[in-house]
Each structure stands twice: as C-alpha cells, then as structure tokens.
A = this chain, B = another copy of it.
Amino acid sequence: MEPASKVDQTVARTFRAIVQYDGTAYNGFQRQRHGVPSIQAELEDALARLADRPIRVLGAGRTDTGVHALGQVISFTIEWPGKHGPGALQRALNANLPPDIAVVELVEAEPGFHPRFDARRRCYEYYILNVPVRRPLLRWRAWHVARTLDVDRMNEAAKLLIGVHDFATFGRAPVGDNTVREVHSAIWRREDEMVIFRICANAFLQRMVRSVVGSLKMVGTGGWSKDDFADAIVSCERKRSGTAAPAHGLYLVSVEYNN
C-alpha cells in the first residue's frame, strides 16, 4: 500500500489570525477563572470543539474589559488536514464563534511566530462623540463628551508623548517589566461629530491609552494647560493622570510585525 500523500496528512500547524470583536460583553481579551467571559476563552473553546482537544491561543495585546478590537492578532497550533486550507479553518472557526467575535484573516504562520513578543508596533484609536446630545446608536462605540473639545490644543499636548519616555503616570507595567515605552505617533482628528485619537507605540502599559485620553480631554476642555499635561508626564505618578476615559471608546486597530 502507498503511504498517504502529504496533502492528506494531518499535522500540527501554526496559524496567525486577525480577530475583530465587540468587547462590550467580555472581561477583556485574557482568559480568567472559569465562568468569566473573555475573548481568549471564546477562541480557545471554539478551537477545542474543532480539534477535539484543548488548544492554547496567544494574543498580541491584552485589551481590558469593554475594549474593542479591529485588528487583534492571535496565533495557535492545531492539527489540521493538509488538504483543508486556512480558508476552511477560518470558516469553521467563525461558525463556532459567537457573533460578537470574528476571525477576519487567517494564514499559516512562520515557525516560532509569537504575536506578542514579535510585535514591533501597536496602534489604538479612541473615539469621542463630541456633540451636545448623546447618540443612542453609538453608546457602546464612543465616549460622549458634550463640551466642545479644542483639537488643536489636544494635538499640541499630544506631541509631548512622542519618543521614548517613562509613562508611569498613565499605567502599570506587567510584573518584571519597566514603564518605559516608545510612542511613534499620537494625533487627534475631527471627523463630523467624532474626535478621534490615534496612537501608535512599540507597546503600551495597562490602561495607558485610556489614561492619556482622559488627560488630553482635560486639555481639550481647557481644564488643563499644555504645561499641566507636561508636568503630569514627568511626575511619573499615577495619581497625576486625568481620570481614565471609558473602555467603550477604545479600539485596538492594528499590530505590526517585521515579517
């Protein structure tokens, strides 16, 4: 008898995927104790149903409770028949995921790929709905700030974030890590009723984007001067940050790699 051709063999293969989710119903990306809903648990449970065994999912960023993603990157290793391409796996996975999570891209990964350690740049966007009256259809999609924001002032202050700085004012580092990060870009733009912040960095501290947005909102309403913001940065004191902006305006939009 001939051996099965390579294409029929079921071997363990590593995949890399882009995942979008509505974070409203989840306690963040990271799997927690049993019964607490998380994106990672949903992904791992869907994969376990397909593979009939536990599958571990790695993610690029640990988004907080209520934070959304348009471009979260994950990887996982699964025994998947060679004759079934990544497209079939993506469809099977989406059919097993709840409607508020979807795999929008899936490819076979290079050996050893790690979505967190290999990422060289992450970009987040924060949406502020800047109109006097709330918009019901956007209530889980943007932070409603009724007072008109001065986007030019906010951009002047945001420039101070760019470069390598200790961002201890705005967030905590994971255990064993420091609070220095490199911010590549940080810019506000107005689009109709929205004021949108886009910030890219090599990595972010926990709560960093929301604390930065909460502080820059103070600048935008006139409560803080640009110097107040500068002083807050250099203080490296958590209590000097403005109140963190709510999670439901924050989106992990992309994670970039060298390969």
Among residues of B, the one whose C-beta sits closest to the C-beta of A139 is B99
- Of the listed residues A94, A100, A103, the one surrounded by the most CB atoms of chain B closer than 10 A to its CB is A100
- For A101, list chain B residues within 8 Å (CB): 136
B22 touches A136 (CB 8 A): yes
Among residues of B, the one whose C-beta sits closest to the C-beta of A134 is B102
- Of the listed residues A68, A103, A104, A137, the one surrounded by the most CB atoms of chain B closer than 10 A to its CB is A137
Question: Is A16 an interface position by the 8 A CB rule?
Answer: no
Question: Is A133 an interface position by the 8 A CB rule?
Answer: yes
Question: Is A141 an interface position by the 8 A CB rule?
Answer: yes
Question: Is A70 an interface position by the 8 A CB rule?
Answer: yes
Min CB gap A25→B, angstroms:
10
A20's contact among B22, B94, B137, by CB below 8 Å, is which? B137
Q: Which of A62-108 contact B (CB under 8 A)?
A: 68, 70, 90, 94, 99-104
B22 touches A139 (CB 8 A): yes
A70's contact among B90, B102, B103, B137, by CB below 8 Å, is which? B137
Q: Mark A13-39, 1 if CB is under 8 A from B, else 0.
A: 000000011100000000000000000
Min CB gap A253→B, angstroms:
12
CA–CA, A29 and B137, complex, Å? 16
B136 touches A21 (CB 8 A): yes
Question: Is A135 an interface position by the 8 A CB rule?
Answer: yes
A134 touches B99 (CB 8 A): yes
- 23 inter-chain pairs at a CB distance below 8 angstroms, sorted by A residue, are A20-B136, A21-B136, A21-B137, A22-B136, A22-B137, A22-B139, A68-B137, A70-B137, A90-B133, A94-B133, A94-B134, A99-B134, A99-B136, A99-B139, A100-B136, A101-B136, A102-B133, A102-B134, A102-B135, A102-B136, A104-B133, A104-B135, A137-B141
Residues on A facing B (Cβ under 8 Å): 20-22, 68, 70, 90, 94, 99-104, 133-137, 139, 141
